[in-house]
Structure 1
Amino acid sequence: MGARSLLAVLNGERQAVPPVWFMRQAGRYLPEYRALRAEKGGFLELVYDNDAAAEITLQPIRRFGFDGAILFSDILIVPHAMGQTLTFTPGEGPQLAPPLVEARLEDLHAAPQHLAAVYGTVRKVAAALPGETAFLGFAGAPWTVATYMVAGEGSRDQAAARLMAYREPARFAALIDAVAGVTVDYLAGQVAAGVHAVQLFDSWAGSLAPDEFDRWVIAPTRAIVERLKARCPGVPVIGFPKGAGGNLARYARETRVDAVGLDETVDPAWADEALPEGLPVQGNLDPLLLLAGGDALAGAVRRIRRALGRRPHVFNLGHGIDKETPIAHVEAALAAIRSPL
């Protein structure tokens, strides 16, 4: 297993025992993370502290031996670098100011030092990571990042961004293009600093109608993939369009990502039939099954592995690990994932 294994799968090699990492594996369910956060302060302070962020990235690797490490950061680093103020308020989530429903993108003052701070973390992790472990960087996809930039915060239905896209499509397209441009630079910077592969998180892809999905999810993702591959040949790109549903197969074909992440609502057997033959997939255990544990967890692991066993498969969750997840359940899941079927 290890870095060669995970990267081989992302490059199209099927393996009997899938490599594994979990979204949000570096985070609040770990006592060592909670201790460091109590010592250092708020979330954003951790992200921009190279020593702390590198330590958090490495914590789940030391404890569990995951085959991939995921950079400890946040998708809103890009709007922060584009000039919006970013704060994390306990109990309220992230806030971006000024929201673009009230301000113009052109009036923001870029702050590229926020990207440079993350590159420092990447370099520290790359120097300390075990040689057998792959290192994954990431960014938010333009649609999801834009929803936060427009509203200034997260929302259930992304109505502010969707309305702007309908009412002012040229203005919204300019925002999407700007986010895509910074994202390419950001991901290329992560690669230069030491990551082996990258993931694009489109957490709110499921809120769009089909035509809007094509315009604001597929098209900008394809543009990022093309531009990144021109700058960083051979670096795999994982696309994760959460909630894409029936749009997933079209996303896989048209974006030209190297692997597709499946959220927990996707039937893996359907995905195996619908997705392009040989395309690597990642996922898709329900994070609540990891929280529940027991026979339900073990059975789900087996079902997912069997359903996706004919193609290259990176085992993962369908979304981020829940902060209440017991350590013993993670250990049990890893044992089931790494056991022969």
Structure 2
Amino acid sequence: MTEKIEFPELKNDVFLKACKGEDVPYVPIWIMRQAGRYLPEFKSVRADVDFFSVCRTPELACKVTLQPLDRFPLDAAIIFSDILVVPQAMGLEVQMIPGKGPHFPNPVKEISDLSRVKYPVNVNEELGYVFDALTLTRKNLQGRVPLIGFSGAPWTLMTYCIEGGGGSNMATSKGWLYKHPKEAHEFLSKITRVCIDYLLGQIKAGAQALQIFDSWSNELSPALFKEFCLPYLVQIGKELKAAHPEIPLICFAKGSNFALEDLSKSGAYDVLGLDWTIEPSVARQMVGDRVSLQGNLDPCVLYCGDQVIREETEKMLKSFGTKRYIANLGHGMHPTHPIEGPESFVKAVHEISENMIKNN
């Protein structure tokens, strides 16, 4: 049995407290894709190194994870990696094409292609570089803020494997659900097992919270979501909670607002992330006090200057309230966002929420 890694004492636990529904002095904030191409220092790192090489080099992954923390007073860091390291670990080639995004040269188009998918997977061997990056980053954070680990959700990962990339109408993947439900469940079950092992490894390596990204769940009807998404999301959450009840779990099922009640009642997650297509007050009614909420500013607001950002942030905070809430965007940062956008957003969240709490 390996020894437990010793880490510096945590100095800012506001994010973790909000995940658990505890009282906080202000609303914590982190931003999806807070490390990325909108930062000149990130582009400088990427100038000589391809995307997945950054992911696979712990020193570089640590460096870019910390870059936004050095600019903005964020309340959490999220490890720099990609959800598609899981398909890579399962033996599928994934390329990151500049200007296009992820590309699978040989996707799993037919049922017969499942024979090319590697399973079971030794996550320590295949994804140890992520664990090393987490440990290094947790140490280099020196307790400034908690470190979030993450994984893609099984359905979202399956869509990439089948479609060969993102951005389509998911016709081939959804076709599997209708024509080949048995094989779809088998594939989803395998991905789920790898995700659980991967996330358990992230906790051991130093992750203090975890987020599951179901980026393409919005392509599914409520019926398909209930059959092919929900059981696997719940399985992930419940297995992780059984092993590590102290680690907050966040589920971000983008656009699947109809599922908020089911997810909140499942007991699998502490926090549910929201995109900008639902009113915060409506989401709060759906989940009650069972979970905290995270989100959901439209990322396009960050193009609009300090005054608009403050106005929209104040509306959002007043609608969510300051209890059981973590501020974030409704999706990730854009490569073209000006630096001033997140700067204004983080400042507005802290200042406005602190005043709200003081005056309550």
Mapped to 2, the partners of 1:119 and 1:244 lie a distance apart of: 30
Match of 1:155 in 2: 167
**CA positional deviation for 1:230:** 2.0
**1:335–1:288 distance in 2 versus 1, CA, 3 Å:** same
Q: Which AA in structure 2 matches 1:78?
A: V
Q: Name which of structure 1's ranges 253-262 and 51-60 shifts more when overlaid on structure 2.
A: 253-262
Q: Which AA in structure 1 matches 2:223?
A: D
Mapped to 2, the partners of 1:17 and 1:307 lie a distance apart of: 15
Match of 2:204 in 1: 192
Structure 2: state its 5+ residue gaps.
Answer: 1-9
SS in 1 for 2:247: coil
Query: Is the aligned partner of 1:282 residue 2:290?
Result: no
Q: Which AA in structure 1 matches 2:154?
A: P
**1:205–1:135 distance in 2 versus 1, CA, 3 Å:** same
Q: Which AA in structure 1 matches 2:18?
A: V
Q: Is the 8 A contact 1:2 1:68 kept in 2?
A: no
Match of 1:63 in 2: 71
SS in 2 for 1:305: helix
Match of 2:341 in 1: 329
Q: Which AA in structure 2 matches 1:47?
A: C
Q: Is the 8 A contact 2:131 2:201 kept in 1?
A: yes
Q: Which AA in structure 1 matches 2:274?
A: L
Mapped to 2, the partners of 1:157 and 1:168 lie a distance apart of: 18
Counterparts of residues 123-134 of structure 1 (less than 5 Å): 123-134=135-146
Match of 1:79 among 87, 96, 100: 87
**CA positional deviation for 1:16:** 5.0
**CA positional deviation for 1:326:** 1.4
Q: Is the 8 A contact 1:219 1:255 kept in 2?
A: no
Match of 1:19 in 2: 28
Match of 2:38 in 1: 29
Query: Is the aligned partner of 1:264 residue 2:276?
Result: yes
After TM superposition, where is structure 1 displaced by more than 6 Å over at least 4 residues in a row? none
Q: Is the 8 A contact 2:241 2:268 kept in 1?
A: no
Deviations 1:71-90 (A, max 9, x none): 10001110100110111111
Mapped to 2, the partners of 1:295 and 1:175 lie a distance apart of: 48
Q: Percent identity among equivalent residues?
A: 34
**CA positional deviation for 1:117:** 1.2
Query: TM-score if structure 1 supplies the norm length?
Result: 0.95
Mapped to 1, the partners of 2:117 and 2:233 lie a distance apart of: 24
Q: Is the 8 A contact 2:264 2:290 kept in 1?
A: no
Mapped to 1, the partners of 2:51 and 2:303 lie a distance apart of: 23
Deviations 1:23-64 (A, max 9, x none): 00000111110111103x211111111111110001111111
Match of 1:205 in 2: 217
Match of 1:9 in 2: 18
Match of 1:116 in 2: 128
**CA positional deviation for 1:114:** 3.5
Q: Is the 8 A contact 1:30 1:327 kept in 2?
A: yes
Mapped to 1, the partners of 2:21 and 2:15 lie a distance apart of: 10
Aligned-pair Cα RMSD in Å: 1.7
**CA positional deviation for 1:215:** 1.2
Mapped to 2, the partners of 1:201 and 1:252 lie a distance apart of: 16
Mapped to 1, the partners of 2:23 and 2:229 lie a distance apart of: 28
Q: Is the 8 A contact 1:2 1:19 kept in 2?
A: no
Mapped to 1, the partners of 2:106 and 2:178 lie a distance apart of: 21
Q: Is the 8 A contact 1:122 1:190 kept in 2?
A: yes
Mapped to 2, the partners of 1:155 and 1:305 lie a distance apart of: 31
**1:109–1:245 distance in 2 versus 1, CA, 3 Å:** closer
SS in 1 for 2:250: strand
**CA positional deviation for 1:293:** 2.3
Mapped to 2, the partners of 1:97 and 1:231 lie a distance apart of: 37
SS in 1 for 2:41: helix
Mapped to 2, the partners of 1:120 and 1:330 lie a distance apart of: 28
Query: TM-score if structure 2 supplies the norm length?
Result: 0.90
Deviations 1:202-258 (A, max 9, x none): 001111111111112211000011111122231111000001122322232236211
Aligned residues: 340
Structure 1: state its 5+ residue gaps.
Answer: none
Match of 1:96 in 2: 104
**CA positional deviation for 1:278:** 4.7
Q: Name which of structure 1's ranges 181-190 and 123-132 shifts more when overlaid on structure 2.
A: 123-132
Match of 1:38 in 2: 47
Mapped to 2, the partners of 1:310 and 1:299 lie a distance apart of: 16
**CA positional deviation for 1:279:** 1.8
Q: Is the 8 A contact 1:57 1:72 kept in 2?
A: yes
Q: Name which of structure 1's ranges 116-125 and 250-259 shifts more when overlaid on structure 2.
A: 250-259
Q: Name which of structure 1's ranges 104-113 and 143-152 shifts more when overlaid on structure 2.
A: 104-113
SS in 1 for 2:127: helix
Match of 1:319 in 2: 331
Q: Is the 8 A contact 2:18 2:323 kept in 1?
A: no
**1:295–1:278 distance in 2 versus 1, CA, 3 Å:** farther
Q: Is the 8 A contact 1:144 1:204 kept in 2?
A: yes
